[in-house]
Amino acid sequence: MEDTVMNLYGTPNQTLTITDLQAMKVKGEKISCLTAYDASFSALLDEIGIDVLLVGDSLGMVIQGHSSTVPVTVDDMVYHSRQVAAARKRAVIITDMPFASYATPEQALETATRLMQAGAAQMVKLEGAKPDIIRFLVAQGISVCGHLGLLPQSINYLGGFKVQGKEPSEAQQIIEEAKKIEQAGASLLVLECIPASLTQQICQQLTIPVIGIGAGPDCDGQVLVLYDILGISIGKQARFSKNFMHGANSIEDAIRRYHQAIKSQQYPDLEHCY
């Protein structure tokens, strides 16, 4: 049974907000997050109690069959975000801003507006250290999630899906970027594919919730690609991923196992860390 989330007036919230996620961080309850791309899975994840549904541009790989997230368009993200929003009742919906859709503050505002108005997103996520753009969006009343470490939209520049922040200079840069993202007004930060020791340092210095994917157990929550935990993604799975269908008797059971593993801090284990 999930704890009933109460608002300031002592009545149950129908939908979680960033304030609720912040409260979970304060009391030490881990935040469960999964990607979602359609109404059917949205309804199932929401019913199980997943706290955050990330409408990720990973759909470019797991749904569209591309080798990266780069080909995904704003129209794609609006479409899938709208389908996810149509079925969920409780979870927070975060939608990715796709490649090259937030190069300037004005372009970022246009993209975020579409994702929120037409796609019904509650928060938008952008990759990289872009404090000026984050600050501009927040000033317009838009909730923003940052993303550091491995940046899938920059995969051609990075030269592949590699662990980031292993060198001391790189680690220090990520720490400084995380601070700037928080200072710019971001409500949440995703850390992807970085050493667990670096994650621990960052979490100790930030007050906003930190969600990890291949970033170790010290994050305030964890996110994985839905298709990965069901063992149906194309190609080789990353070290940090885990197939929760092993030992499960249904898709619902696998998702519930994932949710419980996050809440009980049984995932990620050492084998999933860098």
Q: Which active-site residues does the annotation give?
A: 192
d(CA 188, CA 162): 23
Task: Name the residue among 160, 169, 162, 211 with its Cα closest to residue 186.
Answer: 211
Give the number of residues written for the chain. 274
> What's the sign of the alpha-carbon dihedral 227, 230, 232, 234?
positive
Q: How far is C-alpha 207 from the chain's CA centre?
A: 17
Task: Name the residue among 201, 213, 146, 145 with its Cα closest to residue 170.
Answer: 201
CA angle 210, 90, 98 (to 5 degrees): 55
β-bridge mates for residue 161, sequence order:
none
Q: What is the DSSP string of 67-95?
A: SSSTT--HHHHHHHHHHHHHH-SSSEEEE
